[in-house]
Amino acid sequence: MTQTLTLRTPDDWHLHLRDGAMLRAVAPETARHFARAIIMPNLVPPVVTGADAAAYRDRILAALPKGSGFTPLMTLYLTEDTDPADLAQAHADGLITAVKLYPAGATTNSASGVTNFDKVRPVLETMAEIGCPLCVHGEVVDSDIDIFDREAVFIERVLDPIRRATPGLRVVMEHITTMQGVEYASEGGPELGATITTHHLVINRNHILAGGIKPHYYCLPVAKREEHRLALRRAATSGDPTFFLGTDSAPHTDANKLLPCGCAGCFTATNTLSILAEVFEQDGALDRLESFTSLNGPKFYRLPPNESTITLTKGAPVTYPDHIDTGDGPVTVFDPLMPLHWRVST
Ligand code: DOR
Ligand code: ZN
């Protein structure tokens, strides 16, 4: 008997679409299966004002296949010069859904991010007042902190103090990668959510470093030890509304990945749902896949879940391209190193 699984159409609560030729190539990959996505603002130059967000949203809509009902949920890139009034207006106009905090120097195109967190206090207070969520890249950048500890240290030194100083601020811990992240998020109450990527449910740091260096598994925050991956699997498959899907699908051309100083990012938009179904089935949690992909995120963002549905069908191993072609060069699709049996059939 064919096994099928029908879910409310998923949303991706953390996505990089880039711009120009790359945007045109990758947007259809997400729009095929997802209804909405939170769009990361780390373009060059970054999306810092309401006007920037409106212009970027229009470029995304123009890049979608004809008839696509996909809705980009825009974000602003928080800088030490962000104008609280411009932010509040963009939020009131429905132009932006959230604001993204990058510690300066933490990751790709984060140079315009925040160094002195005191400088953004007025903006965070405005956000708490108007109910605009802050999406946080949670890593410290101190050179004396080991890269595998940067998330746990950020929670202690930066995130917890910010949340205590700004009551009412709604925060999403983006792409958590550690058991400390899982623990802090699960104890944070309804004003704290956390996204988990597809790839961090599949790989640990050995996949990047053992038996030769594998640039296509390098992303930030970097994958951690196996015990952390298992904590993420338990959180994602638990049904706990704190945790929801943010793929952090982050396309870079192979030329930019395969450099002496290669870019961080895994591109998972093409096969994410097949991977997630496989993961949830392995963990005996297929009945909780919909919570993770389609219900918990809208609940946190105070948006209705999608009315439409998609159906996944289990069968012979799914085939998908090993890369997609873009006007900028090929982008390698994430290899989950296991056969996938669930295909999106509608
Ligand atoms: O791996 C990553 N890639 N992590 C980030 O935080 C940024 C992203 C990108 O923009 O490439
Ligand atoms: Zn990201």
Total domains in the fold of the chain:
1
Please tell me the distance between residue 248's alpha carbon and the centre of ligand 2 in angstroms. Answer: 5
For the chain, the average pLDDT equals 97
Other CB atoms within 10 Å distance of the CB of residue 111: 12
Find out whether 133 and 121 touch, Cβ atoms under 8 Å. Answer: no
Token pair of 179 as six digits? 């058991």
Residue 346 has pLDDT above 80, yes or no: no
| Pocket probe mutation, ligand 1, options 12, 15, 38, 42, max atoms within 8 Å of Cβ | 42
Active-site annotation holder among 144, 248, 283, 322: 248
Q: What is the pTM of this model?
A: 0.98
How does residue 40 score in pLDDT terms, banded at 50, 70 and 90? very high
pLDDT score recorded for residue 1: 64
Question: What is the 4 CA–ligand 2 centroid distance (Å)?
Answer: 31
Amino acid letter at 244?
F
Q: Give the closest residue (by CA) to ligand 1 atom 7.
A: 108
pLDDT in tens, 75-94: 999 999 999 999 999 999 99
Cα 244 to Cα 96, 196, 234, 291, 341, distances in angstroms: 20, 6, 12, 8, 22
What average pLDDT does range 238-247 have in this prediction?
98
Average pLDDT, integer, range 1-13: 93
Q: Which residue has the higher pLDDT, 111 or 342?
A: 342
Ion ligand 2 nearby residues (CB, 5 A): 248
If you compute the radius of gyration of the chain from its CA atoms, what whole number of angstroms results?
A: 19
pLDDT at 108: 81
Ligand nearest to the CA of 102: 1
* Domain harbouring 186, CATH code: 3.20.20.140
Place of tokens 């604001």: 99
Q: Which helix (H) or strand (E) holds 202?
A: none
Residue 325: pLDDT above 70? yes
Q: How confident is the model at residue 272 (pLDDT cuts 50, 70, 90)?
A: very high
Confidence of residue 107 (pLDDT cuts 50, 70, 90): confident
Query: Residue 131 — very low, low, confident or very high, per pLDDT cuts 50/70/90?
Result: very high
- Is the pLDDT confidence value at 333 over 70? yes
CA angle 237, 108, 254 (to 5 degrees): 85
Identify the pLDDT of residue 230: 98
Identify the residues whose C-beta falls under 6 Å from ligand 1. 16, 42, 107-108, 137, 219-220, 250, 264-265
Ligand 1: atom nearest CA of 137 is 6
> Ligand 1 pocket check: which of 107, 252, 268 to mutate, most ligand atoms within 8 Å of Cβ?
107
Which atom of ligand 1 approaches the CA of 266 most closely?
Answer: 1
322 is catalytic: no
Mean pLDDT of 190-219: 98
Atom of ligand 1 at shortest distance to CA of 102?
6
Q: Which domain holds residue 339?
A: 3-344
pLDDT number for residue 157: 97
For residue 45, say if its preceding peptide bond is cis, omega within 30 degrees of 0: yes
